[in-house]
Amino acid sequence: MEKLLKELQHTDLQYQTRRHFLQSCGFGLGALGLGSLLTSCDGPGKEAGISDTGSRKLIPQFAPKAKRVIYIHMAGAPSQLELFDYKPELEKYHGKDCPAEFLEGKKFAFIQGVPKMLGPQGKFSQYGQSGAWLSDYIPYLQTVADEITFLKAMHTDQFNHAPAQLLLHTGSARLGRPSLGAWATYGLGSENQNLPGFIVLASGGKDPDAGKSVFGSGFLPSVYQGVQCRTGGDPVLFVGNPDGMNRDIRKKTIETINEINRLTYEDVRDDEILTRIKQYEMAFRMQISVPEVMDVSKEPQYILDMYGVKPGEGSFAMNCLLARKLAENDVRFVQLFDWGWDAHGTSAAGNVGDGLRNKCRASDRPVAALLQDLKMRGLLEETLVVWGGEFGRTPMQENRNGLVMPFMGRDHHLDAFTMWMAGGGVKKGFSFGETDELGYYGAKDRVHVHDLNATILHLLGFDHEKFTYPFQGRNFRLTDTEGKIVHSIIA
């Protein structure tokens, strides 16, 4: 009761703020204009109304090639030189001093002085009809190489984890911007009225370095933020009823809360209240829908074996299977975060030898299974799968504070890394971009992270330059003032 009284007092104080006065009680054209700014959702096309989830749904500007996205982020940044970017010339330089041109005027996270070059630790061969170069670290991905478009010359502006993750996922290295998943659900809404449009699954024991901001809604209404689900216990915290409260009591409670919200809306006419009503109603439906979707006990054994899933065990493999189930249930954007890919060479687990191999053993099989499973079910063509980290790794061995690390490791590198995409309108068995002979710099067809986001939005049916939201006096977009669509990779 004390909490309810405090909430009532807080709400009453909100009604007395200058923002509320200008939005709802002011007079004149100025007040009307500000009120429209505070409540509008200026999207790229006509608005198709508010869905049962409380989100606005906009009509895409042109026919989308993808209906949904599964975005797999390997937090910490896997080494492209051990996995995808085969550089036989780098083997010849192994153990030699780094060329001066790689160091002059450059900033690194940890490298100081003159480091030694580090040759690739994986054994590379070509796979599939496309002849994609892949290492022995990822044998399962080799079997689906012809489904993938590789972006070999990615680059970014940030060489520290949190800013780089923010830039990749929100278009800005600073806090406060909406994430790609939030933009996607703002534009397209949710196809399933019993589930959130944007769901997040994390593994590796930690959240990304940038925290929950990488799947937040920023200045977009809160309904568009990612809902993080768990693979153990209740999938969503507090989705179950408290002790002593059954479903009928919960339903009556929500109906009472929503009736109060409706009366409040009639008084203040704030659209956010309508969103809140819809969210309460969806939360009630989620009590049944979320546990059902997150239950893998009814999956056939061959599917569990294909992913390498053990029922009841939270893992990256489990999250990949859940991503397929969520896509199958029309969740618009599924984000997988897997922590632990930061291979500096400071420990046995954090190196590009056995440490990286172990991370690949846990992730390679389920990622390949996800692509195969989506294809078997006819979902891959309309589901865009994106894989990558926030930046790449240097061709040099890290020498933190001028000292060589006890294990083989590579420092953060912003000038060259590899990401890949599959399904959802991109070419199959295709490689775009090249790095120089030592894998240090993008030599051909470079792709910035803004270009990647512009292309993803294009595949979802939106022009990234016109897909905006008004905030603090100007229209913001995911790609800020940059970004170009990579038309060469689109099927």
Distance CA 302, CA 279 (A): 37
CA dist 183 → 69, 215, 229, 462 (Å) = 12, 10, 20, 10
Given this model, what pLDDT does residue 191 score?
84
Given this model, what pLDDT does residue 289 score?
65
CA dist 21 → 38, 68, 263 (Å) = 12, 40, 18
The b/e string for 70-102 (b: 16+ C-beta within 10 A; e otherwise) is: bbbbbbbbbbbbbbbbbbeebeebeeeebeeeb
CA dist 312 → 59, 231, 317, 333, 481 (Å) = 40, 8, 12, 24, 45
CA dist 33 → 220, 253, 476 (Å) = 19, 37, 18
CA dist 467 → 218, 298, 390, 472 (Å) = 16, 40, 24, 17
Is there a contact between 461 and 64 (Cβ–Cβ < 8 Å)? yes
Given this model, what pLDDT does residue 353 score?
96
Given this model, what pLDDT does residue 26 score?
38
Which residue ranges in the chain fall short of pLDDT 50? 1, 4, 15, 17-46, 48-54
Q: Using alpha carbons, select from 109, 71, 99 the residue that is nearest to residue 393.
A: 109
Identify the three-state secondary structure at position 229: strand
